[in-house]
Structure 1
Amino acid sequence: MGPPKRRVLATAEETLFPPPTLPEEHQIARVIKAAGNNLYSVEFPSKQVVLVELPARFRSTIWMRRGSYVVVDTKALDDRENKLHGEIINVVGDEKAWRKAAFWPKAFVKQSYGGASDSEEEDSRVGKMPSSDEDE
């Protein structure tokens, strides 16, 4: 049997829209890999890789892939003496909506399939050639 469908839908709906602001102790991080039972290795915009815990409300409800984004509360587990550096408090569901938020880190630039960043894609749509030093 699984969790009730209404709980699954409510949890998934929470992840779709970004909050108006993020508190100082909350940071957006990229999921690197699953590191164990409800533990994930994540990378902050500062390139620091840490281990975080997935709380019970997301377990068996939301699945995360490598490269997806989460919001980590870095102060949640300060009272414990262990290797965990925080707790996942939200999962970025609609990445497009979250990227438009003012608090989205500049370090997490969307990469296209060709390896070009957003600004290079805009240049190609306008008709400009991306700058490269190879021609010189």
Structure 2
Amino acid sequence: MGRPKRNLLATAEETLTPPDALSEGQSIARVIKAAGNNLYNAELPSAKAIMVEMPARFRSTIWIKRGSYVVVDTKALAERENKLDGEIVNVVRDEREWRKQSYWLVKLS
């Protein structure tokens, strides 16, 4: 079996530590269910249901289960006219570390 590529390891390590702050348009959402090929239905803290897309850098590297948390950017796909409401920019893997951040105001748990 071959060695994993370095960019796969970097992507996986990137999701372990939470960012210091979320930029405008980013929010933490809970994944409700998989909606198709790299598409997920998610719920924002305001209880609004959205459909988000997983970018290519996470595909076949990070797996998302129902009920897990992701950081979505709702302004990333604003210029495209389609059914998508946003894009996944980060995946919450170590939930304890993420909950310590000041922006973790998720009322979903």
TM-score tier by shorter-chain length is over 0.9
Q: 1:13 aligned to 2:7?
A: no
Mapped contact 1:12–1:93 kept (Cα < 8 A): no
Going from structure 1 to structure 2, the CA distance change for 1:2 and 1:34 (only over 3 Å counts) comes to farther
Which consecutive residues of structure 2, in runs of 5 or more, have no partner in the other structure? none
Which consecutive residues of structure 1, in runs of 5 or more, have no partner in the other structure? 110-136
TM-score of the aligned structures, taking structure 2 as reference length: 0.93
Runs of 4 or more off by more than 3 Å in structure 1? Answer: 1-5
| Aligned equivalent of 2:98 | 98
**Relative contact order: is structure 1 or structure 2 higher (C-alpha 8 Å, sep ≥ 6)?**
2
Which structure: greater strand fraction?
A: 2
Mapped contact 1:53–1:87 kept (Cα < 8 A): yes
Identity of aligned residues (%): 67
RMSD between aligned alpha carbons?
A: 1.7
| SS state at 1:30 partner | strand
Query: What is the distance in 1 between the residues matched to 2:11 and 2:46?
Result: 29
Query: What is the distance in 2 between the residues matched to 1:8 and 1:33?
Result: 24
| Aligned equivalent of 1:66 | 66
- Report the alpha carbon displacement of residue 24 of structure 1 after superposing the two structures with TM: 2.0
Code of the residue aligned with 1:97 in structure 2: it is E
Which structure: greater helix fraction?
A: 1
Query: What is the distance in 2 between the residues matched to 1:74 and 1:14?
Result: 20
Higher CA-based Rg: 1
Going from structure 1 to structure 2, the CA distance change for 1:3 and 1:27 (only over 3 Å counts) comes to farther
Query: What is the distance in 1 between the residues matched to 2:95 and 2:108?
Result: 11
